[in-house]
Amino acid sequence: MLYSLIMLPLAGALIAWLIPGDRLRPLLLPLFGVLHTALTVDALLLTPPPSPNDWIHLDALGKVVLLGISVLFLVCAVYAVGYLGYRRERSNRVLCAGLLICLSAMSLVCAAHHLGLLWVAIETTTVSMAPLIYFNRNARSIEATWKYMLICSVGIALALMGLFFLAYSTIVAGQEPTLLLEPLISSARKLSPDWLKAAFIFLLVGFGTKMGLAPLHTWKPDAYGEAPGLVGALLAGGLVNCAFIGIARIYQICTASGNAGFFLDTLLIMGLISMGFAAVFMVNQSDFKRMLAYSSVEHVGILAVALGLGKGALFGALFHVINNGLTKGVLFLSSGNIHRSYNSKNTSQVKGVLRRLPWSGGLFLAGFFAITGSPPFSPFLSEFSIVSSAFIQGRNVSGGLFLLFLAVIFIGMASTVLPLVSGEEPAETVRTPYRDRLLTVGPPLATMLLVLMLGLWLPEPLRRLLMDAAALLELRP
């Protein structure tokens, strides 16, 4: 079953590449999206056994990330059919095949328990996503693609160096060299502390670059701003989560070493810095898609803060992984509709969205309230559990900064979103053929309803899964 989760999207990518017509090819995306989601649900209910060499194993942490990725991909796949109907001037062969290859790589990230294999899978997501950012084939998209490839490749190279240091820490400790997760966790107390710290720093910088932690986030505004909405959704809700699980794996090893203070404090500081950067750049942001990039910088900071706090914040972190991915899907897909209708991303030209596009404008507004942690949406619950854990632990300064940054970000986003959706359309606005249709509004609407439902009621199976995943990240005695 685990191999099916990885191989099925690859088969779909091959079929998509071989199909000659642009009209039929997009239909493969929802087909394979449904199949992948069905396999994911089956894997959640009946945990498949690990591979004979223990390189591939789907534990509770991998299940949480895989569930979020699979649902988000299905939403984007259905949306893609409607979106590509408006983009018949471009071939969609690379886009469709690349999306399915990326889904395969993201599935492997969730199941990889060999850190070398995890590194390969994360690098594959980087490479497969690059041509999708270039879909619009203009000067700004090629610049964004090169910046994405250059910065993320440097980051992933640093992560590889971190893996070398981690393996060397086992040699210095007189242990058998390995990059398998379980042996590293069980022997963590015997590993060389200095080499383990060096490995952690390099892996945090490497995977943090892919995740978009400030000040390693500089590729995000361009890539998110120039990529199609569905690609931006998968970048913010899929690839970010893959980098998060990479950091979570080294987190498991470091916290099991018996000297977790250095690692937790580093994550906490990096997370607050990331939230602070997002707060500064969110104010007076005139490009609403770049605004979403800085929102992503904020939320990866929230995840890092939660890991740094540990204890009760871990449940909130894992719940936020799902909440952030789904809400970013709503925002990027609805923003793609707005961009397509106005042919602009600048708030000086985009106004009165609720009048021109009531559905997309309403979803974008609802997504804004959800992503800023407003009740009754589910991000409120995950963020509340994180900040309350800070105060319960007596980390009042961290909790206060957390709330301050959230307040500034809310005001900054509101100053962009509210004028955009309200008011009258500018007289000089160009009329385009785009109109809201079921295939471009239905997927983000269903996702928004899911975000609302999780804010009002958390199903018991999902709660248990989150608790099990949080237990994997708990400090060992």
Residue-range definition of the domain harbouring residue 13? 2-473
User: Virtual CA dihedral for 411, 415, 417, 423, nearest 10 degrees?
Assistant: 140
DSSP string, 217-277: -TTHHHHHHHS-HHHHHHIIIIIHHHHHHHHHHHHHHHHTTT--HHHHHHHHHHHHHHHHH
Tokens 């936020």, residue located = 320
Is residue 15 within 8 A of residue 25, CB to CB? The reply is: no
Residue 477 has pLDDT above 80, yes or no: no
Q: Kindly tell me the burial class for residue 151, based on how many C-beta atoms sit within 10 Å of its own C-beta (0-12, 13-18, 19 or more).
A: buried
What does pTM read for this prediction? 0.94
pLDDT digit string (tens) for 388-414?
A: 999 999 999 999 999 999 999 999 999
* Nearest residue to 32 via CA among 49, 44, 19: 19
CA distance 181 to 185: 6
pLDDT digit string (tens) for 289-346?
A: 889 999 999 999 999 999 999 888 999 999 999 999 999 999 999 999 998 888 888 8
Bridge partners of 180, per DSSP, are: 114
Q: Give the pLDDT of residue 382.
A: 94
Give the confidence band of 217 by pLDDT, cuts at 50, 70, 90.
confident
pLDDT digit string (tens) for 367-394?
A: 999 999 999 999 999 999 999 999 999 9
Between 96-100, 200-204, 258-262, the lowest mean confidence (pLDDT) is in 258-262
Is residue 207 within 8 A of residue 159, CB to CB? The reply is: yes
Residue 152 has pLDDT above 60, yes or no: yes
Give the confidence band of 88 by pLDDT, cuts at 50, 70, 90.
confident
Report how many domains make up the chain.
Answer: 1
Helix axes 115-133, 93-111, angle to 10 degrees: 160
Give the confidence band of 187 by pLDDT, cuts at 50, 70, 90.
confident
Residue 242 has pLDDT above 80, yes or no: yes
